[in-house]
Homo-oligomer: A and B are copies of this chain.
Amino acid sequence: MATIQDIADLANVSKATVSRVLNNSSLVTTQKRIAVEDAMNELNFQPNVMAQSLAGGRSMTIGVLTQNFGSPFYDSVSQGVIDGLSDTGYSPIFADGQWKQNTEREVIGTLVGRKVDGLILIGGDVPVSKLNELRDQLPTIVVARELDDWENQCIHVDNVDAGYRATKHLIDFGHREIALIHGIRNHPDAVQRFEGYSKALADAGIELNSNLVYSGDFSAQSGVLAVNSLLAQSTHFSAVFAANDMVAFGARLALHRHGIRVPEDVSIIGFDDQAEAAFMTPPLTTMRQPAVEMGMASAAALVKLIDGESYELPRLPIELQRRESVARLR
């Protein structure tokens, strides 16, 4: 592996000059610049990022903390981060916080130890106080989590409003007995969506029936369990608001097993709009989260933040994606 010294020798200049053309940090005569570039090509030179980082302070890597690899929403955000970082010279390095404070604390530690130039935190439970410390130490952007006092380093989305609108959509279609399959108990997204649900019901003058709200964990399996329980007890319902699309898939299947038609007998609305949702039978009406866009936006913002440039965070809406799993109540 060629080093800066090798190419300096070959080009008959000093290491310093090589470094200068590498970063074009200051003027170098065209003649030497070309000699250096030729030498680099000839030796197939790849700067050692570790050494650069040690000497210069920048590692050109971004630490990304995500939650539960394999869950569609967080994966999409991560994907957006990757996209957004390509062609910036920065590479992302991922760690999984698993929605556990301790794990998160730990992996953030290893990220910091790797001297990342910036941090993107997707979701998670890290207490705000720790976050505030972190932000003083390192450019940080938080995604998919609402934080007071972080206006400009926080990309999130209004889950209570979205929960409200999802429920409202059902109500507008004549439904009044709307089951809610809750996500993980204390998960902020889940509780906010539930809050929106409650509010929409209240605004429509419908009393919240606790027999219609089932707890789950964002998995498809929890969707089938919930529907089975709902059906076993005999509270009638004409619509289901699922915590996310996976839950909706499970619910839809359970309904199918009982010979209940969607949307003729029961309507379903999901949340996320993951790729498969459009191909459910029937295609799933769902609240589309701009996951990839959030990731891209956070990457773009972080790069600006690191470079000390100004930037503006986009306002990303959650949009109702109307498809065919919701029908007017007859």
Closest to A109 in B: B46
Closest to A53 in B: B50
Smallest CB gap from A111: residue in B: B91
Q: Output the nearest chain B residue to A253 by Cβ-Cβ distance.
A: B279
**Docked CA distance A158–B70 (Å):** 25
- A47, A75, A224 — which one has the most chain B CB atoms within 10 A of its CB? A75
Q: Is the C-beta of A93 less than 8 angstroms from some C-beta in chain B?
A: yes
What is the distance, in angstroms, from A236's C-beta to the closest C-beta of chain B? 22
Asked if A232 lies at the interface with its beta carbon under 8 angstroms from chain B, I say no
A101: interface (CB < 8 Å): no
> Are A113 and B276 neighbours in the complex by a CB distance under 8 Å?
no
CB-CB contacts of A205-220 with B at 8 A, as 1s and 0s?
0000000000000001
A contact residues, range:
35 or more
Q: Check if A199 is an interface residue, CB within 8 A of chain B.
A: no
A51's partner among B54, B75, B76 (CB-CB below 8 A) is: B54
B92 near A94 with CB under 8 A, answer yes
Query: Across the interface, do B115 and A48 meet the contact criterion of CB distance under 8 Å?
Result: yes
In the complex, which residues of chain B have a beta carbon less than 8 angstroms from the beta carbon of A48?
54, 113, 115
A27 is an interface residue with CB less than 8 A from chain B: no
A115 to B49, CA, bound (A): 7
Is the C-beta of A269 less than 8 angstroms from some C-beta in chain B?
Answer: no
A51 to B54, CA, bound (A): 6
Q: Which of B114, B220, B256 contacts A49, CB < 8 Å?
A: B114
A252 touches B281 (CB 8 A): yes
How long is the Cα–Cα vector from A109 to B75 in the complex, in angstroms? 25
Assembled-state Cα–Cα distance A91/B48 (Å): 18
Q: Quick one: closest B residue to A66, CB to CB?
A: B82
A110 at the interface (CB under 8 A from B): yes
Our pick among B114, B115, B275 for the contact of A220 (Cβ within 8 Å) is B275
Measured between beta carbons, the chain B residues less than 8 angstroms from A51 are 54
Tell whether A283 is near chain B: CB-to-CB under 8 Å: yes
Nearest CB in chain B: distance from A322 CB, A: 16
In the complex, A140 has a CB within 8 A of chain B = no
Bound-state CA distance A86–B69 (Å) is: 12
> Chain B nearest CB: distance from A330 CB in Å?
21
- Closest approach, in angstroms, between the C-beta of A94 and any C-beta of chain B? 7
Would A115 and B283 count as touching, CB distance under 8 A?
no
Query: Is A91 touching B91 in the complex (CB atoms < 8 A)?
Result: no
Return the CB mask of A166-203 against B: 1 if under 8 Å, else 0: 00000000000000000000000000000000000000
- Smallest distance from the beta carbon of A91 to chain B beta carbons, Å? 6
Closest residue of chain B to A110 (Cβ to Cβ) is B91
Contact A47 B82 (CB under 8 A): no
Listed by A's residue number, 17 A-B pairs whose Cβ atoms lie within 8 Å are: A46-B112, A47-B113, A49-B114, A69-B79, A70-B79, A75-B75, A82-B96, A92-B93, A220-B275, A246-B279, A249-B276, A253-B279, A253-B280, A253-B281, A256-B282, A280-B280, A280-B281
Which 4 A-B pairs give the minimum distances between C-beta atoms? A249-B279, A46-B113, A50-B53, A256-B281
